[in-house]
Amino acid sequence: MFSHFPFSRVNWLISSFLIGTLFLAVTCVPLYIGFFGIDCFQICLFLAMFFATGFSITLGYHRLFSHLTFQAYWPVKLFTLIFGAAAFENSVLLWSCEHRRHHKHVDEDEEDPYCISKGLFHAHIGWLLFKVQPDPPFDNVTDLQKDPLICWQHRYIHLLAVLFGFVLPAAIGFVWGGWKTALGAFLIAGIARVVVVQHCTFCINSLCHYLGNQPYSSRCSARDSWLMALLTFGEGYHNYHHEFQHDYRNGVKPWQFDPTKWTIWLLSKAGLVRNLRRVAPEKIALAELAEAQRRLEEKLATPGLTAASAAYINRACHRLQTLAQEWSQLKAAQIEITREKLIELRAEIRAAMCTLRVTGLSEAQAV
């Protein structure tokens, strides 16, 4: 049974930690709650550590350091470096290096560290369990290597992780209620919280390339999913992120759930961060237009499409082509795109996508 298992490829240190913390979370945590119960202190400490470490990954590791979507003053940088370490996802240098490789070589089997084409398990956690190759050369994070705070975190990453990930909650628990509370804090706000935060992050690498739709581009597997956004501090709008990776927002529409975006905005109002980078609304709308047009043309090429459906799609496709020409002329003439024009364009895009759904439904009923 085990003769074909690739033991030589297993990263035993990472695997032991990931499997060990998961085992403790599903065994010792319920045992502790069964013997001693759980109170508001343990819940509040878990949530405080969960949000501190979760936002340090999404706001700090991801949007600040990996993509440089805004600039932060040292208190924000120090906080995200310390509590990012407490998430046990390694240093900013290594995390950003691998993430930038992912964006540059997305869906490429050999170069994308967590390529979804190798399967959901590989993208979620398998790439870590079997990660035996040496660390990358860090040639794509030379900008980060100039930051003394980042270099300090990289040197002491394991010490910082243990101190702020496990020792800190246990110490707070001991001060609050003695050794029983300290044990609970270690297990709940330490061990269980690490498991939850890590798997939320892993979902970005796996399920955000598997569930949802692709309104901005289908050139890669990244997808937008409101459900994933709920689990990942707003990172679930992954199709937008892969198309516009230097925007500090992932959920770009006002109604989309993106607490990381809201936190960055609030920090900017408090004067703690600056230079928030945004993609122009017309550029976003044009990406949606191009993708809607591509899907209509793809539908037109479908074998067996009825004449009525083909004519219906042709009219929608022609309208989108006309809109694209109008927008190109406006941009060439450097005419400012008004809010009304944007609303009109988005309405046309929604109508085009509705055309696809209607024709798909009618074709299915005809069959």
Instruction: Give the pLDDT confidence score for residue 155 in this predicted structure.
Output: 97
- pLDDT, one tens digit per residue, over 28-44 is 999 999 999 999 999 99
293 or 271: whose pLDDT is higher? 271
Instruction: Give the pLDDT confidence score for residue 301 in this predicted structure.
Output: 67
Average pLDDT of the chain to the nearest whole number: 87
Average pLDDT of span 218-228: 93
Average pLDDT of span 124-132: 87
Contact 106, 242 (CB under 8 A): yes
Is residue 333 pLDDT above 80, yes or no?
no
Q: In angstroms, rounded to a whole number, what is the distance separating the alpha carbons of residues 316 and 346? A: 14
Token pair of 113, please? 């560290």
Average pLDDT of span 283-311: 71
Is residue 125 pLDDT above 80, yes or no?
yes
290 or 81: whose pLDDT is higher? 81
Is residue 339 pLDDT above 80, yes or no?
no
**pLDDT range class, residue 306, cuts 50, 70, 90:** low
199 or 296: whose pLDDT is higher? 199
- pLDDT, one tens digit per residue, over 64-111 is 999 999 999 999 999 999 999 999 999 999 999 999 999 999 999 888
Token pair of 356, please? 């696809």
Is residue 50 pLDDT above 50, yes or no?
yes
**Most confident listed range (54-63, 123-132, 318-327):** 54-63
Q: 224: which strand partners? A: 213, 237
| Those residues with Cβ within 8 angstroms of residue 151's Cβ, 6 or more apart along the chain or in another chain | 93, 145
Instruction: Give the pLDDT confidence score for residue 362 in this predicted structure.
Output: 47
**pLDDT range class, residue 135, cuts 50, 70, 90:** confident
Average pLDDT of span 325-343: 64
348 or 289: whose pLDDT is higher? 289
Is residue 324 pLDDT above 80, yes or no?
no
Is residue 355 pLDDT above 70, yes or no?
no
Is residue 142 pLDDT above 90, yes or no?
yes
Instruction: Give the pLDDT confidence score for residue 367 in this predicted structure.
Output: 37
Q: What is the pTM of this model?
A: 0.86
Lowest-confidence range among 57-66, 242-251, 275-284? 275-284
- pLDDT, one tens digit per residue, over 7-30 is 667 888 999 999 999 999 999 999
Listed as own residue / partner, the contacts of 175-184 with beta carbons closer than 8 Å and 24 or more positions apart are 176/41, 177/41, 180/36, 181/41, 181/42, 183/32, 184/32, 184/36, 184/38, 184/42
Of all residues in the chain, the percent with pLDDT exceeding 70 is 79
Instruction: Give the pLDDT confidence score for residue 232 in this predicted structure.
Output: 95
Instruction: Give the pLDDT confidence score for residue 66 in this predicted structure.
Output: 97
**pLDDT range class, residue 288, cuts 50, 70, 90:** confident
| Those residues with Cβ within 8 angstroms of residue 366's Cβ, 6 or more apart along the chain or in another chain | 306
358 or 200: whose pLDDT is higher? 200
Torsion of CA 38, 41, 46, 51, to 10 degrees: 150
Of all residues in the chain, the percent with pLDDT exceeding 90 is 68
241 or 137: whose pLDDT is higher? 241
In the chain, where do the E strands start and end? 71-72, 273-274
Is residue 318 pLDDT above 70, yes or no?
no
Residue 290, CA atoms < 13 Å, CB-side half-sphere: 13
- Token pair 């599903």 is found at 26
Sign of CA dihedral 323, 325, 331, 333: negative
Token pair of 143, please? 């900008």
Contact 115, 109 (CB under 8 A): yes
DSSP result, 289-301: HHHHHHHHHHHHT
